[in-house]
Structure 1
Amino acid sequence: MSVLDAPRVRKYHLTLIAVAVLILVLALVRVVTGKVDITSSGIFQAALVLAVPIGLAGLGGLWAERAGVVNIGLEGMMVLGTWFAGWAGYQWGWQAALVAGLAAGAIGGLLHAIATVGFGVDHIISGVAINLLGPGVTRFLSEVLYAEGTPAAEAGAGITTSPALASRPPEVSLPLFSSGPDVLGALENTHWFLVSDVAGILRGLTHNVGLLVIVAVALIPLTYFVLWRTAFGLRLRSAGENPWAAESLGVNVYLTKYIATVISGALAGLGGVFLVFFTTKYVEGQTGGRGFIGLAAMIFGNWRPGGLAAGASLFGYADGLQLRSSAAVTSFFLFGAILLLLYVGNRIRQLLSSSRETAAAAVAGARDYTVMAFAAMGVVVLMWLWMTVDRLPNEFVFITPHVLTLLVLLVASQRLRMPKADGVRYRRGEQH
């Protein structure tokens, strides 16, 4: 193994260690709290399903922002994807729903590209406009096409919902874990420490997995390969870092930004299609802010596919937990306290092992001490809540994923680096 490969291997090993630690902490929390749902196959199956639309929206944001286009219009593009998937799906089946949702999201991305790249409109303003436009357009189309007396209304449509899909995509189970007797299910039911937890996680992630779930998971490494291992990806990322330098090297920055933003919209639309497949029809408001949570997952992942997948998984798990077992949500207090404690311990170890005494290191050290102080306070508060709160009110259970979004972003914001030209208005030959 060459020296150049060592950092990559170390990062890979650290990722595996982090996953192992998370599973160990979850198993410990299950034993201490007695909430078996925390690592059950049902929870992880729900978490996988709920993480997919968030991850697809986050991937859409990643493609756009790596090209220098801020896309907060992901929510509106998802809404367009849900409506057109429901409209096409009830007439021609799930294949038509997939195509229609992708196309609708891509059109939303194209509108955003025309406004921001073509006319130089502020990216935030354009994104907000699309978030307003999406629900408005879909409500208008529902009132026109799903009105009383129309064929769609006779098939079960209303102003806020479409008829059920004519067909659904198939579900599969991974052969390695689904052939023969249900060994994983038997191990899960033993409730042995760590053994049953790992079995429940594997069973939830491998049994009865939808076809679109597999496609969505495959898009994570595919995005990494395209953006970091191809010439097109290098040109796209250069447009987000320094478009004028890319222009001087012959890159068509306008076209690159257009392509990236259209792909961004298509991925957000695909997330909307998945929601329709999950509920078997379009329902007004079914996105539930997942476009914004996907944007948060992308930021949490530091504009990288792997980190984005971790963020989407975290939010999907929290969402699945509050849907399937609201009583187990209180165990999240203990889970969060242990993770914060591990974080503080790791930061203390790093600070003690550091021997640099430069001014920059001193400033960074002061900032680290402040973050650690807040983290230590968080440990105390979370432990107190876990010991004193038996059951959260339904209102607090419902907002758990959104509160988790804010807390994760607060911690993750200490180590973020966005593309340098992200959101910068680009005009050929007019370098800022």
Structure 2
Amino acid sequence: MITMPETTVPTTPRGSRLPSWGRGVLWTALAVVMLTVTADLTGLPSITASSTVQAGVQLAVPILLAGLGGLWAERAGVVNIGLEGMMILGTWGAAWAGYHWGPVAAVIGGAVLGALGGLLHAVATVSFGVNHIVSGVAINLLGAGVAKYLSTLIFFPVSHNPRQSPRVEPFDTYSAQPLAGWLADLEQQQRYVLSDVAGVLRGLVSGVSPLTMLTVVLLVASYLLLWHTRFGLRLRSCGENPVAAESLGVNVYRQKYLAVIVSGALAGLGGAAMVLAPGQNGYLENQTNGRGYIGLAAMIFGNWRPGGLLGGAALFGYSDGLQTLTNGKTVLGLFYGVALFCWVIMLVQLFRKRWIMAGVAGVSGLVLYGIYLAVDDLPTELTAYLPHIVTIVVLAASAQRLRMPAADGLIYRRGQGS
């Protein structure tokens, strides 16, 4: 008998690579270090001020919820461009329910109206095979039109303004005491680096809304449900290969319907978060201002993973909070920090012997640093669109490493593999 020689399969030594959560923690720590170094070297303490970080967290919540909704839909193979329209429906539903019964009802109302938008998108794309992009654009137009009509019909007799609702009572906010008080004292002492770190941490644990806590719970629950349960495996298989999933007994239509309805409910919750945000306290026409699209961009930046989505939402929320609370000079100071971050990426790519990526990162850092040196202040007209500019730049920079679900956006008909 002839025996074949044994072949040795090379394996990666255990512990030679960080797990995904470890890499996330490492990059988060690096981002905090970059912010503190930028604040100290530019003399702009507002970059790491607790008020800036707190505003960034509040503004990141709607983006994170919208992105999480997109994650559910696209992992099941349905592209959800209609997140913006579902968010708009959620803002109206939250304002109507919140005006009558309080903030808890506002959360429920926003989720229900958003889920209805998701159901409509599922009927169009799953049952009737409408192109996902076309259906999503239609949902966006329909959501804006329905919200405007209902606002004129119901809110105008009460608020005497067809573009906004009466005031909605927000949630109380909470701080982690005594930690928040101790961090406040350390931030006010203006110690080198320590006060900057204290400002960032204080912004994360102060003035936290119950809806922010719910968002964190939903993010973790979505990760566990989609990646660590049989239900999640079946749902994700519908986004990778629905024909193979059907051959194994998975009801593909049911999985897609459920995912898109949950997607709409999460986007509606994002709308409710805007209604209940400090300084808003009600529905306002054009309130979302494209945050549904930014949530979709955060999901793509995160490579269709919850951890990456969290990083993208934090980036966009922080940039939005920075331009809201500070002036153009402070935003310009962030160019310095991004330049430093680009040079760190350049060193990492050089270590990995990726010469082209290292060169791109190095040149990008030089360009940003040159802008920082050459410009004294940024006009308000430009800083107002900082989140949208960041969205475009981040997507362009991360496009090479993205991997969407294989069957995402494809029209599927039951029994097509037989």
Give per-residue Cα distances to partners, 1:314-340, cap 9 Å, x unaligned.
000000000001231001111111111
Offset of residue 342 of structure 1:
1.1
**1:375 positional shift:** 2.7
Give the superposition deviation at 1:176.
Answer: 5.7
Residue 411 of structure 2 corresponds to 425
Please report the TM-score for the alignment, with normalisation by the length of structure 1: 0.90
* Structure 2: distance between partners of 1:15 and 1:276: 30
1:108-119 matches, cutoff 5 A: 108-119=117-128
2:348 aligned to 346, 351, 355, which one? 346
Q: Which residue of 2 aligns with 1:358?
A: none
Shift of 1:146: 2.9
Q: Deviations over 1:67-94 (max 9, x none)?
A: 0000010000000000111112112211
* Matched letter for residue 376 of structure 2: D
> Quick one: which amino acid aligns to residue 424 of structure 1?
L
Is 1:67–1:257's contact at 8 Å kept on the other side of the alignment?
A: yes
CA RMSD in angstroms comes to 1.7
Which of the residues 74, 94, 107 maps onto 2:103?
A: 94
- Alpha-carbon displacement from aligned partner over 1:319-377 (angstroms, at most 9, x marks no partner): 000000123100111111111111111111101xxxxxxxxxxxxx6xx61x4443333
1:37-93 superposed Cα distances (whole Å, 9 cap, x missing partner): 011110110010000000000000000000000001000000000011111211221
Structure 1 residue 286: Cα displacement: 0.7
1:262 aligns with 2:261: yes
Once residues 169 and 48 of structure 1 are traced to their aligned partners in structure 2, the CA distance between those partners, rounded to angstroms, is 15
Structure 1 runs not aligned, ≥5 long: 352-364
| 1:105-148 deviation per Cα after TM superposition (whole angstroms, max 9, x unaligned) | 0000000000000100000000000010011011111222234x
Q: Deviations over 1:368-396 (max 9, x none)?
A: 61x44433332221111111212100011
The aligned counterpart of 1:203 is 202
User: Offset at 1:168?
Assistant: 2.1
Q: Which moved more, 1:19-28 or 1:9-18?
A: 9-18
Structure 2: how far apart are the matches of 1:121 and 1:394?
A: 41
User: How far apart, in 1, do the equivalents of 2:252 and 2:386 lie?
Assistant: 41
Q: Quote the residue 1:169 is aligned against.
A: 171
Structure 1 residue 17 corresponds to structure 2 residue 16:
no
Kindly provide the amino acid, as one letter, of the partner of residue 171 in structure 2.
P
1:55 lines up with 2:67 in the alignment: no
Q: Which residue of 2 aligns with 1:290?
A: 291
Matches of 1:261 and 1:8 in 2, distance apart?
35
CA displacement 1:170-226 (0-9 Å, x = unmatched): 222224624xxx211111112222211121111111112110011111211111000
- Contact 1:27/1:193 (8 A) holds in 2: no
Match among 360, 370, 389 for residue 384 of structure 1: 370
**Mapped contact 2:24–2:307 kept (Cα < 8 A):** no
1:33 is matched with which residue? Answer: 42
Partner residue in 2 for 1:233: 232
Match of 2:217 in 1: 218
Deviation at 1:11, TM superposition (A): 3.6
Where 2:413 maps in the other structure, the secondary structure is coil
Q: Equivalences for 1:347-362 in 2 at 5 Å?
A: 347-351=349-353
Q: Determine if contact 2:184/2:199 at 8 Å carries over to the other structure.
A: yes
CA distance in 2, matches of 1:322, 1:242: 43
Greater per-residue helix proportion:
1
Q: Could you say if the C-alpha distance between residues 92 and 391 of structure 1 is closer, same or farther in structure 2, counting changes exceeding 3 Å?
A: same
Amino acid at match of 2:77: G
Aligned: 1:312 with 2:313: yes
- For the residue of structure 2 that corresponds to 1:288, the secondary structure is coil
Following superposition, the deviation at residue 304 of structure 1 comes to 0.2
Structure 1 match to 2:338: 336
Call closer, same or farther: CA 1:413–1:95 in 2, change over 3 Å. Answer: same
Relative to structure 1, the CA distance from residue 259 to residue 346 in structure 2 (aligned partners, 3 Å threshold; closer, same or farther) is: same
Using a 3 Å threshold, how does the CA distance of structure 1 residues 33 and 114 change in structure 2: closer, same or farther?
A: same
Contact 2:189 2:195 (8 Å CA) reproduced: yes
1:146 to 1:199, Cα distance in 2 relative to 1, 3 A:
same
Is residue 38–residue 321 contact of structure 1 (8 Å, CA) maintained in 2? Answer: yes
Quote the Cα distance in structure 2 between the aligned partners of 1:11 and 1:63.
20
Q: Give 2:90's match in structure 1, choosing from 72, 75, 81.
A: 81
Which deviates more, 187-196 or 328-337?
Answer: 187-196
CA 1:291–1:7 in structure 2 vs 1: closer, same or farther (change >3 Å)? farther
Identity among equivalent pairs (%): 50
Aligned residues: 404
